[in-house]
């Protein structure tokens, strides 16, 4: 197996195929072998797992996943990598590469087709510029046991943040609605070629089998969350009145009161159960004559 993280191997390999890094695609390749090894181990991938990998690049994580998983499907957008991946991961008969944009795919349908009888998992070293859309798609597919990804450290901190903290956001609530996050380890910039300007982190999101909160309307719940963070320096009532024009300020104040919240509360301090209670009161308010 080619050690593609060895820079003395990687550079000649890329040169042989005339490959140049694409800034537009956010390409930063790993040159520290411990990183993909740790991701594969700490993600919990084993022979019972079917793994969807997003963006294999030249294959460092793909190799480690294929060594452990029952099957790996790697989705790659950049077809320039085809001859390189043939050299670096072509030996694995439990690997399939799909040349497409993962955001164009029916992820749940793909997982059902490719991993019958296996425990579905997702792993990826995500390009920074498209982290949120891909994570959103993976979680909304609601078909994985766990999603383990390497992202910008700030994003990992945001995903795992607690209510009231500076990192807590609407994206935090979205991720924690679907999964329980745990930051596994940091990855310094010097582990990549070319070096990014930020530290990365690997985070795993263990998906919830059942949503533990009583939520009357999921769309209203997420609309409530977005409205609550839209004006995070102001009172919750201001954000709700702006996000739900039908409420107005008086209606916003009323649903906050009915939810058992203080009238001066700010949205950034609310927990998911509190957002659930608040959104349920909005649903009731909208149904009143």
Q: Is omega for the bond preceding 174 within 30 degrees of 0, making it cis?
A: no
Nearest to 198 by CA among 208, 210, 187: 187
pLDDT of 235-271, one tens digit each?
999 999 999 999 989 999 999 999 999 999 999 999 9
CA atoms of 141 and 133, how far apart (whole Å): 12
Q: What is the DSSP letter of 102?
A: G
CA atoms of 233 and 210, how far apart (whole Å): 33
Rounded to the nearest angstrom, the gap between the alpha carbon of residue 118 and the centroid of all alpha carbons in its chain is 21
pLDDT of 146-190, one tens digit each?
999 999 999 999 999 999 999 999 999 999 999 999 999 999 999
Q: In sequence order, what are the beta bridge partners of 98? A: 75
Show the beta-strand stretches assigned E in the chain: 29-30, 49-54, 71-76, 95-99, 119-125, 146-152, 179-187, 192-193, 200-207
CA atoms of 84 and 103, how far apart (whole Å): 23
pLDDT over threshold 80, residue 27: no
- 170 touches 209 (CB < 8 A): no
pLDDT at 129: 85
pLDDT over threshold 70, residue 25: no
Residues 6+ away with beta carbon under 8 Å from 50: 69, 70, 71, 72, 73, 111, 114, 115, 118, 119, 120, 121
pLDDT at 20: 81
Q: What is the mean predicted confidence (pLDDT) over 104-115?
A: 98
pLDDT at 135: 97
What are the structural domains, with CATH classification, of the chain?
7-207 (3.40.50.150), 218-287 (1.10.8.100)
Other CB atoms within a 10 A radius of the CB of residue 147 amount to 27
pLDDT of 53-105, one tens digit each?
999 999 999 999 999 999 999 999 999 999 999 999 999 999 999 999 999 99
Q: What is the pairing mode between strands 200-207 and 29-30?
A: unpaired
pTM as predicted: 0.93
Q: How confident is the model at residue 286 (pLDDT cuts 50, 70, 90)?
A: confident
Half-sphere exposure of 196 (CA within 13 A, CB side): 24
Rounded to the nearest angstrom, the gap between the alpha carbon of residue 103 and the centroid of all alpha carbons in its chain is 13
pLDDT over threshold 90, residue 123: yes
Q: How confident is the model at residue 3 (pLDDT cuts 50, 70, 90)?
A: very high
Q: What is the mean predicted confidence (pLDDT) over 208-220?
A: 95
Q: How confident is the model at residue 23 (pLDDT cuts 50, 70, 90)?
A: low
Q: What is the pairing mode between strands 71-76 and 95-99?
A: parallel
């Amino acid at each position: 197996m080619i050690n593609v993280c060895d820079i003395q191997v990687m550079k000649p390999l890329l040169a042989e195929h005339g490959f140049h890094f694409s800034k537009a695609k956010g390409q930063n390749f790993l040159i520290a072998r411990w990183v993909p090894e740790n991701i594969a181990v700490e993600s919990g991938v084993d022979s019972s797992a079917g793994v969807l990998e997003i963006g294999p690049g030249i294959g460092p994580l793909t190799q480690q996943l294929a060594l452990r998983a029952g099957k790996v499907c790697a989705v790659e957008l950049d077809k320039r990598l085809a001859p390189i991946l043939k050299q670096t991961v072509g030996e694995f008969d439990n690997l399939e590469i799909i040349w497409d944009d993962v955001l164009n795919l029916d992820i749940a349908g793909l997982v059902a087709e490719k991993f019958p009888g296996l425990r579905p998992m997702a792993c990826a070293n995500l390009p920074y510029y498209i982290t949120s859309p891909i994570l959103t798609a993976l979680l909304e597919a609601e078909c994985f046991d766990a999603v383990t990804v390497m992202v910008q450290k700030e994003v990992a901190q945001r995903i795992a943040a607690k209510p009231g903290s500076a990192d807590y956001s609407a994206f935090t609530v979205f991720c924690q609605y679907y999964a329980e996050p745990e930051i596994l380890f940091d990855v310094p910039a010097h582990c990549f070629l070319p070096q990014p300007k930020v530290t990365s982190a690997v985070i795993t999101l263990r998906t919830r089998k059942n949503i533990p909160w009583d939520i009357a309307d999921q769309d209203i719940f997420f609309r409530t969350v977005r409205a609550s963070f839209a004006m995070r320096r102001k009172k919750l009532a201001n954000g709700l009145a702006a996000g739900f024009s039908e409420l107005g300020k008086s209606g916003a104040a009323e649903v906050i009161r009915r939810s058992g919240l203080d009238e001066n509360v700010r949205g950034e301090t609310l927990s998911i159960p509190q957002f659930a209670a608040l959104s349920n009161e909005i649903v009731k308010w909208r149904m009143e004559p």
